[in-house]
Structure 1
Amino acid sequence: MENDLTVWRAKADITQAELADQVGVSRQTINAIERGRYDPSLELAFELAHYFDCRIEDIFDYESADD
């Protein structure tokens, strides 16, 4: 799954650690999401969207295997 989490975090001018604290995960989790090595749970995706006051689709771009 592609994502623009790094862009949203940069616009908010916060570190990975600060974002992690706000949504209740580790900095390593945020790093893994940004690098595309980990797809967040639906709950975490909602938490991130809520934090940035946007839709999940604004941060995450799901591409199915059939695309």
Structure 2
Amino acid sequence: MLSRTAAKAMLSMKNFTSSMEGIYSQSVVESTIDEAPMAYKDASLIESTIGPAAEIVDRLVPLHNLKAC
């Protein structure tokens, strides 16, 4: 997981754009690069870390995300 500042410094628009291929979005722009999928921890890493303290019962996959502009 990257901080917003680190994400802006380390991630490229080329990688962000390619990671969003096949997904309709009008917000894959430089100002939202800190929201790129690569800025977040992998779900399996989080699950293995919290595993001893929590029971993982399901994993949700977002189908729609609406953000105000």
Which structure features the higher share of helix residues?
1
TM-score range, shorter chain: under 0.3
Q: Higher relative contact order by CA 8 Å / sep ≥ 6: 1 or 2?
A: 1
**Higher Rg:** 2
TM-score by length of 1: 0.28
Which structure features the higher share of strand residues?
1
